[in-house]
Structure 1
Amino acid sequence: QHTRWAPNLVLLATQPSAEDAVRLAELAADAARLGIGYLVGTESGDLPGAAWAMEITPDGRLLAPLLGLELQAQLLPAVHQRAVVELFVEADPEHDPDGPTTTPPFLVDISEQGRPAVYARLVGPYEIIGLDTPDGDRSALLHEALALLLLHREGVHPRVLSSALWPRGVTEDVRDALLERLRGWLGTDPDGGPRLRTDATGRLVLAKSVVSDLDVLRSLYHEATQGKGVDSRAVRGRLLTDALVLVRGPLLADRAEGRYGWLTHEIVDAQLPLLVADIGLALSAFHLEKDRAEKAIEALGAALRTAPSDERLWNELLRATHATGDADRVRALAADLVARSGARGLPPRTEALLDELLPTWREGAAATG
């Protein structure tokens, strides 16, 4: 359907009750204008109002005769399975921020002594510091290969790298020639070690002296919330501020058309807005502890530029704006949120918060409508 809403797919992990199944059918009947679909697993395969029925066989095939599909399942690698679970945990507004967290797989030295030999800025326009720009038409390909490796500090197999760079296929000699140029471009560390090496499993791995701003961003947030920032308010504020300054836009914002197609399959593209939102929320809380509402609003605004759809940021922006004592600003923000919500309407938590902070907001919304 041609709507202004991006399509959303709601996945149900358990079979609904008969009553809930009827409610889902009613929702689905009116979902076209919002672009929402529902995928429900049932043992019987019988669900009222279902547009399509798909069967998953014991040998891992998916059959959908009405769609003309017969597919064989592929197993998601364990590291990606964990990343998907973590993504949903981080996105859950009810999850305990003080609960168990997963340490990022690659932390960097964020002290003055930890300056990297090669520094790539990926969060926003792509920029590399510490390397000469390669000559010729291969420059873009080398940049893309380095970006892929920086987003996979665990290593990338040459076959995976070549399929990402040349999705339509490439010969081994062309791939190997690129890897040699990439090794030559990255060079060696002062101790003579190559900055691009091959590990025991055959994967291509970057040296720790090659760092991206995303590595630094994760490390700053980790240090602020699980390291030195835990016991020192001043350190926490500095680390969070430094982290938010690094955010210049979406990941690889100036990526060339027709390249970086592999990025659409990378979970980091969805994780980055969550990370930026978490940093913005933490910095906002830091400022509100000392009644610095304007500073909190500034931090939240910076985070919203990268995570504009994060409900938590908007709700915290409402609280920070209310803390200024300026009722007109709160009303203006409420009107902006109502306008942004469109036909879908405000999320329930945002409505409840507005009812608390600005009980008359519905009158303004009705007048605007």
Structure 2
Amino acid sequence: LVSVGRDDDGADVLLDLEAAQGPVAVTGDPAVAREVATAVAAELATNRWSDGLRVTGLDLPELLTALRPERYRSVADVGAVLPTLRGRRVDALGTSVLSGRLRGAGSAAWVPEYAVLGSPLAADGDASRALVEAASADQRSPLGVVAVGSLPGARWELVVDAEGGLEVPVLGVVVRANRLAARDVALLAELVAPEPEPDGPLDLERIALEHEYTGERPPVDPPDRPLDLGSLEAAPVRVTILGAPRVHAPGVVDEDRRALVTELVVHLALHPAGVHPTVLAGALWPRGVTAAVRDATIDRAATWL
């Protein structure tokens, strides 16, 4: 299953690529179609609900490889995909997913193979005919092909427009398409890339404060009290919760009590509307505590701040 978008009711629409028993063509606006195909490839390579699978991409952003290199590979020619698809077509699973998966041949016999093509093939060319032949079967097989552009012989067609609307005629639904542009893939690759080893000790707090996201931001209402970096640094009390939670306060606290009062202050900071003392006690002491201990801890935290 791979999701293709969300409908007007907010429901995610997923396609069973194996059920197509042949290629799925993404037609319409070429740029949007490529972004849809890129999103399909990225989800196939990274989702957690599929069996072990392999994805081969052609003419898609190269940085997709960084997302899950053990599941995704990039090739330069459709000919590199055909032998694998022909082998998967032989391992038909039948009409039932469950019965096919439970056969005694073992999982190695049906490791699903998916090919995602980001640019159109010549409709009357040998490559398109070979792709359709290799990917088509008369019953469910552990393979799937998604190709941008018109593809004679494709079993299903997804039609996209320039605004990102996607129609799935076989299901009779229209959705807002899932899309990944090349710049989005680059941001994802940066997010999952391993950090280089530091040359020396790092000021982790300073790095956290100075780091700024450079991509496109979704619209978010400004806070009631807009604060800049200088305001945060000058604040007498600061609570940081990304990474190890920390409370920076001018007072003094016993080291053996720091963890508990830090937890208390962080809990309150994350509930700016206020927390009833009984609720606070239940969060900090799940097994229960006396009112005297609770109130003494609150006083100790207030003194620290």
The reply to whether TM is greater than 0.5 is no
Bigger proportion of residues as strand:
2
Q: Which has the higher contact order (CA 8 A, sep 6+)?
A: 2
Larger radius of gyration: 2
What TM-score, normalized by structure 2, do the two folds share? 0.29
What TM-score, normalized by structure 1, do the two folds share? 0.25
Bigger proportion of residues as helix:
1
